[in-house]
Structure 1
Amino acid sequence: MTSSNYASSAPVSIRRDTRAWQFQVWLSFGAAVFLCATGLAWLPGQDLDRAFMVMGYLFCLSAVFVLAKFVRDTESGSNDTPMWKPVVWGGFAMAMGLTGWGLARMEINVTYKAFLGVSWLYLVTTAFTLAKSLRDRFEADRVQG
């Protein structure tokens, strides 16, 4: 039996995230959403600034999930159209850059800017973790069939 035949007949080991980890991922994401929503709801200044920041946060959140899926699909050998890579990375860069620019240019207290900035980055990192956890669960369920 060749090594390739052996590898294909070997049982597949499926590692699943623990319930504690899943709980922590969802709790962290929920906390980040809550902190961002609280910061944006109480954002001093003009309504236009608040609307811009809400759109920026949602743009970043969407871009994170698209980028996470793209990276995971690329790792597994999925082929996309040649322009998809710059669209995904460009969208993520634009979302982060424009939101950061909007936050930096706002005329609000520096402490409030720091709160919004940290909660925004917390949202982005927890969204990447959530995307990975959801994809891991999907793939484990698909293998177990």
Structure 2
Amino acid sequence: MQKYNVNRDAPTNAWVFQVWASFVLSVSATTVGILNLPVDSWVKGYMGMGVLFSVGSTLSLAKTTRDIHESKRLTSRVDEAKLEKILAEHDPFKK
């Protein structure tokens, strides 16, 4: 039976840092841009709510996509294990 390395897809520390840095930078730059717009406060508030909603829905979409991918991998592993068990028990020369 094949052994799986559970951590083979684990992100490196450099990748995690880059992802967090780009997230913080993008949200900060957008916030500064909205605050410096020459418009009324209610327009700034509306745009800020839009940014927060977009960030929240993007995180939810990423989590959902990851969960679907992981569930398919788990199902595939279970099916593969069942197939390997059947093949191991099968003896073509058995009468």
TM-score normalised to structure 1 length:
0.44
Higher relative contact order (CA 8 A, sep 6+): 1
User: Which of 15, 19, 26 is the aligned partner of 2:20?
Assistant: 26
Q: Structure 2 CA distance, aligned partners of 1:63 and 1:18?
A: 25
Q: Which runs of 4+ in 1 moved over 3 A?
A: none
Q: Deviations over 1:66-113 (max 9, x none)?
A: 1111112222338xxxxxxxxxxxxxxxxxxxxxxxxxxxxxxxxxxx
Instruction: Give SS of 1:14's match.
Output: helix
Residue in structure 1 matched with residue 37 of structure 2 by the alignment: 43
User: Which of 5, 11, 20 is the aligned partner of 1:12?
Assistant: 5
Residue in structure 1 matched with residue 93 of structure 2 by the alignment: none
User: Which of 61, 69, 73 is the aligned partner of 1:67?
Assistant: 61
5+ residue gaps, structure 1, are 1-5, 79-145
Which letter maps to 2:7? I
Q: Structure 2 CA distance, aligned partners of 1:17 and 1:77?
A: 19
The structure having more radius of gyration, on CA atoms, is 2
Per-residue deviation at 1:32? 0.5
TM-score normalised to structure 2 length:
0.64
Which letter maps to 2:40? Q
Q: Structure 2 CA distance, aligned partners of 1:38 and 1:32?
A: 10
